[in-house]
Amino acid sequence: MVGRALNTLKVVIIGAGPAGVRAAQTLVAAGVRPTVIDEGRRAGGQIYRRQPDNFTRSPETLYGTEASRAQGIHDTFDGLVDQIDYLPETLVWNISDGRVFAVSEKRETTIEYDALIICSGATDRLMPVKGWDMAGVYSLGGSQVALKSQAVSIGQRVIFMGTGPLLYLVASQYLKAGAGVVAVLDTSSFIKRVVAAPKLMSAPDALINGLKFTLALKAAGVPVLTGIRPLEITGDADSGVSGLIFETGAGERHEIKGDAVAMGYHLRPETQLADLTRCEFAFDEKSHLWYPKVDEDGRATTANVYLAGDGARILGARAAEVSGKLTALACLKDAGVSVSDNEIMALRQDMAGWKRFAAGLREAFPWPAEQAAKLPDETVVCRCEAITAGELRRTVNAMGAKEANRAKAFSRVGMGRCQGRYCALAGAEIIAAAAGIPVSEAGRLRGQAPVKPLPICIEDDEAAAAISTVRELTK
Amino acid sequence: MSQSVNNQSDVIIIGGGLMGASAAFFLRQRNRSVTLLETGLIGQQASGVNFGNVRRQGRPLFQLPLAGRASPIWRNMNALLGEDVEYIQSGHMRVCYRERAELADSFETYAREARQYGLDLEILSGNALRQKFPFLGPDVYAGSYSATDGHANPRLAAPAFGRAAARLGGNICENTEVVRAEKDGVDFRVTAKDGRVFKAPVLLVTAGAWANALSEQFGEPVPLTPRGPNMSVTEPVPYTLMPTVGVSTPLEIETVYFRQIPRGNIIIGGSTRAASYPDIRRAYVKPENTLTQLREIRRLVPALGRLNIIRTWSGIEGYMPDSLPAMGPSGTTSGLYYAFGFSGSGFQVGPAVGDVMAELIDEGATTTPIEMYDIRRLKPVVV
């Protein structure tokens, strides 16, 4: 990569959320014309997802306190469009030998790169609960997308359950939009928030926003309970959710009625693309997450691969902007461009602040790993393949599978459409609990292409040419 | 003889794939004490990631006795092992395309000759073909149908043999990488990476793509090439495609085959096999091979174009120049046996290989002809 003329340097950025947009902006400013590939129809990513063209809600309505940041990202990207190669609604489904394999409108596009910046973002982190496979159960992120993109609510009486900042944000967005919010049930205890407060103070405005959401919910008469444990989402296969049974911190059982549940336990990084580039991963004890290894500026262990945003570390949208920029500078530096060390130092310092804030969030809203051991055997763990906790435990106990990929091979947990994105973390906790080993030893599911379902009817000129060449040669 | 508690046994098997695990099982049935040493986990490599074809037709005629010996084992496997390995006698269809119509004649010849080995094949073309298999594309010219072939779940078969062998008292050592094997007087002495030493008068090498490192230690290097198959699986759809179907063609890029399992997913294999990496125990699917495979599966069954694939995988298979395994006694060392290098077509014969090797070791001879697999036929690649 070193010594290449900047206007011929091929940099591919995957993802047009806050990290991808800032990375593109930084590269364009240096004279590079990057290719930006994004699954979304319009840039902005998940958090700053834009509504369809014919919708007219104001940025304030859509993004609340983050309206100006959202607009900043959108305007920046719109200003870059002529200086980048932009491929929207395009899914990168595999990466191999310095080439990105992408599909759009059932057509293959294969793009070579000198450097690859992956800004793949995050999705909801989920812990199964009995009944979560019924109609009417959504992830918090999915519930937010329904509202933000399509202006629809997932139900008329929605129960919000789980933990993390998104729990309060989405509940308050639903409230503001006029949807029925039955209750907010947080598995974390209030005292954890108090203990984490000093770290959360490293981003006082974010902390204040969080408190405002809680106050608004309480002011509207929405019960907000902390320290609960969900026991079962009630309902039936035909009519879907009818309510939720939970246990309070004091051990009392309660049932509340509702027609939809929005649940989630903060976020998990989307790392399959990094995995396909054969990056090394490391287990983070504090969050119980496997992260691709990166250096301070976002370099992965695979040469010429860079990771930015929540896909590299769950640090939030504002940190994603910083890391997008930092990672692009690292990429430029590796290409032999002189970049300002002061700028890099300043960005690293910003990142340190966000890391401290994220640590506070992690402590205030911890992943409820302990729930895994208590899940009743009949609880579905892998929703794609409809495999229960009992079946997964049986592969551990009767078949000796004490590692996630082995348990997947025997039980099919993680083999379905989502490739374990929604069940693998909980699955590993269940395996670890059943085997009596630390969850780090249960390992992580290796990423396998395609990252998302790939149409068999995909058209590819290269494949067609390869086959006809061989046929001609043998005639 | 009973299973000894220490590291001395009647037989040491190196390599816990389907061949090694089934050999351990059948040796225990013959009351021979067995130690099976596996670098990783049982059935994790080629045995666990292959297509799952339980197919006799298309194999060389001289291999049909071995394949025929495997058939009843597959049919009775659940009872034999006490676990469901998802074997289904779905039928197997081997087809050729219009532009290679001459292959239809070879199907006829093969069917005639296979009959004497107890394999009944029905040759289909024209309307009969279309009526029976209406989903096949217009390029398909003729087919050879075997009603008694089928498929099974490769992720389950070898581990089930391993567990059954352990229940019979076999000493199954997973996560045990062998670094050295030598003959020390009467006994073979096998040293693991962690320093453990295992001894037995008989050594069976069933180490697949890794076997050359061992056969070399006994002066018998083999030209074994590690390659990886291309596997894909679709989302589940209603179970309607009963037989396994495979295309017969001389062009590797054109090969494609599929099977549907009762839960609905369709497993697809074929196209150019990529390199694989035994040293790091990894094989990667090359996306360009997935793309050619999907193109060819559309040619075979156009309606599959409406589905999505949800996962791809590969694995490490050991290929011989003549696509035949090394199977039988060593040419240099008494008490040493081999069964490896099945060149991407070992799954169906696997349980019979275990059975034959157990017979050979136990009785000194086997009723199944295996002399064509003698390791001495192979000359190492000169690098």
What CATH number is associated with residue A109? 3.50.50.60
Confidence bin at B306 (pLDDT 50/70/90): very high
Q: Please indicate, yes or no, whether residues B206 and B333 belong to a single structural domain of this protein.
A: yes
Q: Please indicate, yes or no, whether residues B136 and B230 belong to a single structural domain of this protein.
A: yes
Q: Provide the CATH number for the domain around residue B240.
A: 3.30.9.10
Tokens in use for A358?
A: 């994220």
A232 within 8 A of A136, measured Cβ to Cβ: no
Asked if residue A397 belongs to a domain, the reply is yes
Q: Please indicate, yes or no, whether residues A207 and A332 belong to a single structural domain of this protein.
A: no
Confidence bin at A60 (pLDDT 50/70/90): confident
**So what's the pLDDT on residue A278?**
97
Choose the closest CB to A470 out of B251, B306, B310. Answer: B251
B81 within 8 A of B166, measured Cβ to Cβ: no
User: Across the interface, do B291 and A458 touch by the CB < 8 Å criterion?
Assistant: yes
Mean pLDDT (chain A, rounded): 95
Q: Provide the CATH number for the domain around residue B175.
A: 3.50.50.60
Q: Please indicate, yes or no, whether residues A187 and A276 belong to a single structural domain of this protein.
A: no
Q: To the nearest whole angstrom, how far is the Cα of A448 from the nearest Cα of chain B?
A: 6
Choose the closest CB to B310 out of A94, A417, A466. Answer: A417
B247 vs B249: CA distance, rounded Å: 6
**So what's the pLDDT on residue A63?**
87
Asked if residue B74 belongs to a domain, the reply is no
Q: Please indicate, yes or no, whether residues B169 and B215 belong to a single structural domain of this protein.
A: yes
User: Across the interface, do B309 and A409 touch by the CB < 8 Å criterion?
Assistant: no
Q: To the nearest whole angstrom, how far is the Cα of A466 from the nearest Cα of chain B?
A: 8
pLDDT above 50 (res B367): yes
pTM metric for this prediction? 0.96
Asked if residue A447 belongs to a domain, the reply is no
Which residue, B155, B216, B165, B176, is CA-closest to B347? Answer: B155
Choose the closest CB to A458 out of B286, B294, B311. Answer: B294
Asked if residue B295 belongs to a domain, the reply is yes
Asked if residue A475 belongs to a domain, the reply is no
Chain B residues interacting with chain A (CB cutoff of 8 angstroms): 41, 44, 48, 155-156, 159, 163, 234-235, 250-251, 253-254, 284-288, 290-292, 294-298, 304-313
Q: Please indicate, yes or no, whether residues B209 and B245 belong to a single structural domain of this protein.
A: no
User: Across the interface, do B156 and A410 touch by the CB < 8 Å criterion?
Assistant: yes
Q: Would you say how long chain A is, in residues?
A: 475
* Domain finish residue from B283, B298, B319: B319
Picking from A103, A452, A454 by the largest number of B CB atoms within 10 A of its own CB, the best residue to mutate is A454
Q: Please indicate, yes or no, whether residues B261 and B302 belong to a single structural domain of this protein.
A: yes
* Domain finish residue from A215, A232, A265: A265
How many C-beta neighbours within 10 Å does residue A390 have?
14
pLDDT above 90 (res A459): yes
**So what's the pLDDT on residue A57?**
87
Q: Which residues of B touch A463 (CB under 8 A)?
A: 288, 291-292, 294-295
Asked if residue B135 belongs to a domain, the reply is yes
Asked if residue B69 belongs to a domain, the reply is no
The reply to whether A98 touches chain B by the CB within 8 Å rule is no
Asked if residue A239 belongs to a domain, the reply is yes
Tokens in use for A415?
A: 């083999």
Q: Please indicate, yes or no, whether residues B112 and B183 belong to a single structural domain of this protein.
A: no
**Considering only alpha carbons, which residue of chain B is nearest residue A276?**
B284
Q: In terms of residue numbers, what domain contains A390?
A: 371-442
Picking from A456, A460, A475 by the largest number of B CB atoms within 10 A of its own CB, the best residue to mutate is A456
Instruction: Give the pLDDT confidence of A126-138 residue by residue, as tens digits.
Output: 999 999 999 999 9
Report CA Rg, chain B.
21
Asked if residue A468 belongs to a domain, the reply is no
**So what's the pLDDT on residue B2?**
38
Q: Please indicate, yes or no, whether residues B167 and B129 belong to a single structural domain of this protein.
A: no
Q: Please indicate, yes or no, whether residues B314 and B254 belong to a single structural domain of this protein.
A: yes
Q: Please indicate, yes or no, whether residues B112 and B254 belong to a single structural domain of this protein.
A: yes
Instruction: Give the pLDDT confidence of A353-373 residue by residue, as tens digits.
Output: 999 999 999 999 999 999 999
Instruction: Give the pLDDT confidence of A15-51 residue by residue, as tens digits.
Output: 999 999 999 999 999 999 999 999 999 999 988 888 8
B344 within 8 A of B51, measured Cβ to Cβ: no
Bond from prior residue into A450 cis (ω within 30 degrees of 0): yes
As a whole number, mean pLDDT of residues B7-31 equals 98
pLDDT above 50 (res B4): no
Q: Please indicate, yes or no, whether residues A350 and A399 belong to a single structural domain of this protein.
A: no
Q: Please indicate, yes or no, whether residues A314 and A192 belong to a single structural domain of this protein.
A: no
Q: Please indicate, yes or no, whether residues B106 and B230 belong to a single structural domain of this protein.
A: yes
Q: Please indicate, yes or no, whether residues A318 and A411 belong to a single structural domain of this protein.
A: no
Q: Please indicate, yes or no, whether residues A132 and A255 belong to a single structural domain of this protein.
A: yes
Q: In terms of residue numbers, what domain contains B183?
A: 11-49+155-223+321-377
Q: Would you say how long chain B is, in residues?
A: 383
Q: Please indicate, yes or no, whether residues A134 and A211 belong to a single structural domain of this protein.
A: yes
**So what's the pLDDT on residue A150?**
87
* Domain finish residue from A216, A244, A265: A265
Which residue, A124, A164, A169, A122, is CA-closest to A147? Answer: A169
Q: Please indicate, yes or no, whether residues A115 and A17 belong to a single structural domain of this protein.
A: yes
Q: How many domains does chain A have?
A: 3
Q: Please indicate, yes or no, whether residues A333 and A310 belong to a single structural domain of this protein.
A: yes
B383 vs A58: CA distance, rounded Å: 70
Asked if residue B164 belongs to a domain, the reply is yes
CA dihedral defined by A338, A343, A344, A349, rounded to 10 degrees? 170
A37 vs B241: CA distance, rounded Å: 37
* Domain finish residue from B319, B334, B356: B319
Asked if residue B238 belongs to a domain, the reply is yes
Q: To the nearest whole angstrom, how far is the Cα of A461 from the nearest Cα of chain B?
A: 10
Q: Please indicate, yes or no, whether residues A134 and A230 belong to a single structural domain of this protein.
A: yes
Q: How many domains does chain B have?
A: 2
User: Across the interface, do B305 and A457 touch by the CB < 8 Å criterion?
Assistant: yes
**So what's the pLDDT on residue B382?**
54
B74 vs B259: CA distance, rounded Å: 17
B23 vs A338: CA distance, rounded Å: 63
Cross-sheet strand order for the sheet of B326-329: B171-173, B34-37, B11-14, B202-205, B336-340, B326-329
Asked if residue A253 belongs to a domain, the reply is yes
Q: Please indicate, yes or no, whether residues B123 and B234 belong to a single structural domain of this protein.
A: yes
Asked if residue B3 belongs to a domain, the reply is no
pLDDT above 90 (res A351): yes
Distances from the Cα of B170 to the Cα of A59, A467, B161, B337, angstroms? 69, 48, 11, 19
* Domain finish residue from A309, A341, A361: A361
**So what's the pLDDT on residue A51?**
85
Which residue, B18, B8, B94, B26, is CA-closest to B57? Answer: B94
The reply to whether A410 touches chain B by the CB within 8 Å rule is yes
DSSP class of residue B250 equals S
Q: Please indicate, yes or no, whether residues A110 and A16 belong to a single structural domain of this protein.
A: yes
Which residue, A12, A81, A25, A275, is CA-closest to A1? Answer: A12
Q: Please indicate, yes or no, whether residues B117 and B215 belong to a single structural domain of this protein.
A: no
- What value, to the nearest 5°, has the Cα angle with vertex B349 and ends B345 and B355? 145
**Beta strands at B34-37 and B171-173: parallel, antiparallel or unpaired:** parallel
Instruction: Give the pLDDT confidence of B373-382 residue by residue, as tens digits.
Output: 999 998 755 5
Q: Please indicate, yes or no, whether residues A133 and A225 belong to a single structural domain of this protein.
A: yes
